[in-house]
Structure 1
Amino acid sequence: MIFEHAHVTVAVDRQSDFERAFAGVKKHLVAANGGKTAELVRSVDTDGLYLMRVGWDSVEQHAEFGSSPDAQIVVDALAEFFVVTPQVAHFESPGIAIRVRNFVQVTAAGIASQVRARQASKTPA
């Protein structure tokens, strides 16, 4: 899965309206081909700054979404709030499956070692 991060700046006096508008179109992002998650995160440092974070199966599916009717609904609902053009980048979690697998292997090896040590301590000499 990849994550689209869009840094969005809106007028401070329109933040509540923007948040409501996003809530109204979130379903179009999640229901899109390849759409997985969608969230809006408000900056605690800068008034009017948001991170729109959308999870996609692939960058290609995000690109395909751009020409869909659902994308037009999202743009029509949100674009009026943008005071600057959103900056968009895509991210992925590198090697997370390997890290999880390694953690499980190390944990299992540690547990097996503890079991063997306990069994050895119970074995009569």
Structure 2
Amino acid sequence: MILEAVMLQVKQGMEEEYEDAFREASKIITLMKGYISHELQRCMEVKGKYLLLVKWETLEDHTVGFRQSVEYQEWKKQLHHFYEPFPTVEHFKNVPL
């Protein structure tokens, strides 16, 4: 399992509109091969800052399967105009303890 982590900064004053758009766009990602789950967290200290966490079966399910899909184009259309600056996406793998 891979965890995709993205710190998002939404343009000032667009937070409510973004959250509504994200709820709608969430329907897209849930249908993708390798998708496990996702959550969006709102920062309590910084207005407009969010943390997106998505669990994928494999790295390629996200980087190839989702990112190179037609569905991703719709995801971009619905969400990318809210971000400033554009976020960096990072992937993590669990460390057995």
What is the Cα-based RMSD across aligned positions, in Å? 1.1
Structure with more of its chain in strand, by fraction: 2
| Structure 2 residue identity aligned to 1:6 | V
Structure with more of its chain in helix, by fraction: 1
| Structure 1 residue identity aligned to 2:36 | K
With a CA cutoff of 8 Å and minimum separation of 6, indicate the structure with the bigger relative contact order.
2
Count of paired positions: 96
Gaps of 5+ in 1: 100-125
Partner of 1:122: none
Q: Is the 8 A contact 1:36 1:55 kept in 2?
A: yes
**Fraction of identical pairs, as percent:** 29
Partner of 2:93: 92
How far apart are residue 50 of structure 1 and its match?
A: 0.6
How far apart are residue 12 of structure 1 and its match?
A: 2.6
Mark the structure with the bigger radius of gyration: 1
Partner of 1:29: 29
Deviation readout 1:9-60 (Å, 9 max, x if unpaired): 0123100000011100112112101111121111112111111111100111
What TM-score do you get using the length of structure 2 for normalisation? 0.92
| Structure 2 residue identity aligned to 1:78 | L
What TM-score do you get using the length of structure 1 for normalisation? 0.73
- Secondary structure at the aligned position of 2:13 is classed as helix
